[in-house]
Amino acid sequence: MADKIKLTKKDRLAVAWRSTFIQGSWNYERMQNGGWAFSMIPALKKLYKTKEDQAAALERHLEFFNTHPYVASPILGVTLALEEERANGAPVDDVAIQGVKVGMMGPLAGIGDPVFWFTVRPILGALGASLALTGSIIGPLLFFILWNVIRWAFMWYTQEFGYKAGSKITEDLSGGFLQDITKGAAILGMFVLATLVERWVSIPFALQLPAVKLDDQAYIHWEQFNGRDVGDALKEVFSQIGSGLSQTPEKVWSLQQQLDSLIPGLVPLLLTFFCMWLLKKKVSPILIIIALFIVGILGKYAGIF
């Protein structure tokens, strides 16, 4: 029986170092996939001996991936453990590896921004700036050194944590535990994506609908205030507005207001489903992005958006 292939600390350090450049080839089609695949290369070369196996492993890591660049480290650790078990003959398929990656990247992405961009960096920046204002060069140096020490320590230790946790996950492959984890991760990923549709997708229609004539009792009759005391008139006007009367005899609705009164966020949701359907039909994401740009520009000039 052949010896079990094991990733050494040196191999994992090489992956961690490369992961600092995960944003280096960010693209609109698959986002961080190039940087992710670049990070995995040292491990894949160690685990797979033939060019064909290495190419197949690299190809499965060129799928879509996107998260906060620092919290990608624990996902890398889990993926390293899964690839290690697969290289040693465990029944870990492409779907399991990709499912764990997709399921983890969504929830973890929401952690990175508040922790690093909105907490750690502003605190260190304020500390460095206060020293720099006194004319000390220690200020910018302190910010640079502390930021990179914290960043690198977090990336390395969370990658190691993910690697050890991933090894435990793969111990119970025969019991179907990994399949349960994969299924749960996929469901969680879809849930997170669904909650972000309302936040990320916006289609503000500017198109005005035909005015609707209101009932006589539904709007303010301004002529009734002619000749009355200004104070009493204003008091009555505010009272009628507060009771819900319209200030004009006609109600003007925009298409956006009409849609929001029915189901808020309906059009963005339908657009998301349409784009997902196009992707399922193997339409290029770049082509979809260009088409959305064209429709948006033409709609703006036509007064629709």
Of the listed ranges 186-190, 258-262, 265-269, 274-278, the least confidently predicted one is 186-190
Rg of the chain over all Cα atoms, to the nearest angstrom: 29
Q: Each residue of 50-74: pLDDT tens digit?
A: 999 999 999 999 999 999 999 999 9
3-state secondary structure of 251: strand
Burial class of residue 231, CB neighbours in 10 A (0-12, 13-18, 19+): exposed
CA distance linking residue 62 with residue 40, whole number of Å: 10
Q: How many Å apart are CA 41 and CA 59, to the nearest integer?
A: 11
pLDDT band at 173 (very low <50, low <70, confident <90, very high): very low
Report pLDDT digits (tens) over 241-258: 777 777 777 776 677 777
pLDDT of residue 1: 44
Q: What is the pLDDT of residue 177?
A: 53
Q: For the segment 29-45, what is each residue's pLDDT rounded down to a tens digit? A: 889 999 999 999 999 99
